[in-house]
């Protein structure tokens, strides 16, 4: 793959537990950097241990943006993420420093690099219905349907680009307006910066073992106690609405629905499943420099940062 533009903002992405934060901290020892987090869990306040947020010492070492931004249960859209990330990147550059986007939330990263239409109330049922229709009638027929609704967007997409075809149809079903129309009326956000993807995709078995070990470490760090304090503060429903792996399972434990051992087993299983979905997402990411370990990724990225 060709070397990225040396002035492109680097993105370090990959599944949970792959070592992304470690790469950022190592690079911060050598370069004047600030991190823009692209993690839909670390953005939530009060949920610290179970989201593997950078520690206070690590945050004293390097500035992290978009961490502890919203309350548990508060809606935070990909549209808002693009606006906040753009502002953070611009501020970092104005200070003469290097922005590094780090995270594993593919939806945020795709919105940042490809653009996103703001929809106040996404409806999972609409998307599932469209996905079922895609399977039933095929991509060509669904693309034809999009062409009748939004010919400009359809002309940009190959029928086999199922994700974007479904998303464009979904936008119309939810808003009554085409994506092309919304893009011209202020309801569309896309970063003005150029980006270069660096994907960390380690051996899957090693990743799953690292995830299991990290969950054990979170438990030893006091994850149950952290959650119990939130429950005592009347935040149980807010935490439940946030739907963050680790906290949802332990709420079931505190409610007496499962044993602690069963809750821990579920956390590990659900985290592995989440990592598997992330792995699939990033393995399909176009124009992505893929690395199997943090050391090789860090060395390659350091070479680019010297040119920044």
Q: Are residues 101 and 126 in the same domain?
A: no
Backbone Cα Rg of the chain: 20
Residues 68 and 196 in one domain: yes
Query: In the predicted model, what is the mean pLDDT of residues 9-15?
Result: 96
| pLDDT, tens only, 97-111 | 999 999 999 889 988
Question: Do 235 and 72 contact (CB within 8 A), yes or no?
Answer: yes
Both 104 and 245 in one domain: the answer is: no
Residues 126 and 244 in one domain: no
Q: Is the pLDDT of residue 2 over 60?
A: no
Average pLDDT score, the chain: 91
* Average pLDDT of the segment spanning 130-149: 93
How many Cα atoms sit within 13 Å of 19 on the Cβ side?
A: 21
Which pLDDT score, from 0 to 100, does residue 184 have?
74
What number of residues does the chain have?
308
Q: Which of 186, 215, 242 is the last residue of a domain?
A: 186
How far does CA 60 lie from the centroid of its chain?
23
Indicate the pLDDT class of residue 126, thresholds 50, 70 and 90. Answer: confident
Whether residue 213 sits in one domain with residue 194? no
| 14 Cα distance to chain centroid | 9
Contact by Cβ (8 Å): 94, 31: no
**Residue 247's CATH number:** 1.10.287.890
Residue range 286-302, pLDDT digits in tens: 788 999 999 999 999 99
With respect to residue 4, please indicate whether it lies within any of the assigned structural domains. Answer: no
DSSP string for 58-70: HHHHS-EESSS-B
Residue that is last in its domain, among 186, 218, 233: 186
> For position 110, what pLDDT does the model report?
86
Per-residue pLDDT at 24 exceeds 80: yes
pLDDT score of 189:
73
Residue 119 has pLDDT above 70, yes or no: no
Contact by Cβ (8 Å): 191, 86: yes
- Residue 2 in any domain: the answer is no
pLDDT-based confidence at residue 73 (cuts at 50, 70, 90): confident
What's 48's domain CATH number? 3.40.50.300
182 contacts: CB under 8 Å, gap ≥ 6: 117, 118, 171, 175, 188
Compute the average pLDDT of residues 16-20: 95
Task: Let me know if residue 3 belongs to a domain.
Answer: no
pLDDT of res. 122: 59
In a domain, 32, yes or no: yes
Range of the domain at 49: 9-116+190-202+284-305
CB 157 within 8 A of CB 143: yes
Number of domains present in the structure of the chain: 3
Give the pTM. Answer: 0.82
Structure token digits, residue 13 = 């992405």
The residue among 21, 44, 15 whose CA lies nearest residue 244 is 44
196 and 60 in a common domain = yes
The rounded distance, in Å, linking the Cα atoms of 77 and 124 is 14
Give per-residue pLDDT as tens, 222-275.
Answer: 999 999 999 999 999 999 999 999 999 999 999 999 999 999 999 999 999 999
**259 contact partners, CB below 8 Å, separation of at least 6:** 253
What are the backbone dihedrals phi and psi of residue 208, each rounded to the nearest 5 degrees, phi first?
-65, -40
Check pLDDT > 70 for residue 134. yes
Q: What is the pLDDT of residues 164-181, one digit of tens each?
A: 898 889 888 888 888 888
**Burial state string for 74-90 with b = 16 or more CB within 10 A and e = fewer than 16:** eebbbbbbbebbbebbe
> Same structural domain for residues 13 and 31?
yes
Percentage of residues of the chain with pLDDT beyond 70: 95
Last residue of a domain, one of 132, 151, 186: 186
pLDDT over 80 (residue 51): yes
Angle at 162 between CA 156 and CA 167, to 5 degrees: 75
247 shares a domain with 173: no
The terminus-to-terminus CA distance of the chain in angstroms comes to 19
Q: Say if residue 226 is in the same domain as residue 181.
A: no
One domain, residues 82 and 105: yes
207 contacts 15 by C-beta, under 8 angstroms: yes
């Amino acid at each position: 793959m060709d070397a990225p533009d040396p002035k492109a903002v680097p993105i370090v992405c990959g599944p949970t537990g792959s070592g992304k934060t470690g790469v950022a901290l190592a690079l911060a020892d050598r370069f004047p950097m600030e991190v823009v987090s692209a993690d839909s869990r670390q953005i939530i306040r009060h949920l610290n241990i179970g989201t593997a947020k950078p520690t206070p010492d690590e945050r004293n070492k390097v500035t992290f943006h978009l961490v502890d931004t919203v309350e548990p249960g508060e809606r935070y859209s990909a549209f808002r993420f693009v606006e906040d990330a753009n502002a953070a990147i611009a501020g970092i550059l104005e200070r003469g420093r290097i922005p590094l986007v780090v995270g594993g939330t593919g939806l945020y990263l795709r919105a940042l690099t490809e653009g996103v239409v703001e929809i106040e109330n996404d409806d999972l049922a609409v998307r599932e219905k469209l996905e079922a229709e895609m399977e039933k009638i095929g991509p060509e027929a669904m693309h034809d349907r999009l062409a009748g609704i939004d010919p400009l967007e359809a002309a940009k997409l190959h029928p086999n680009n199922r994700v974007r075809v479904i998303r464009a149809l979904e936008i119309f079903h939810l808003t009554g307006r085409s994506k092309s129309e919304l893009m011209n009326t202020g309801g569309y956000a896309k970063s003005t910066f150029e980006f270069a993807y660096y994907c960390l995709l380690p051996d899957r078995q090693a990743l799953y073992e690292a995830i299991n070990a990290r969950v054990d470490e979170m438990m030893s760090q006091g994850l149950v106690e952290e959650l119990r304090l939130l429950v005592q503060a009347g935040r149980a429903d807010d935490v439940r609405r946030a739907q963050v792996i680790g906290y949802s399972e332990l709420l079931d434990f505190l409610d007496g629905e499962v044993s602690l051992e069963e809750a821990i087993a579920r956390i590990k299983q659900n985290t592995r499943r989440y990592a598997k979905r992330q792995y699939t997402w990033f393995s399909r990411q176009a124009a992505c420099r893929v690395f199997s370990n943090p050391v090789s990724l860090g060395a390659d990225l350091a070479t680019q940062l010297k040119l920044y």
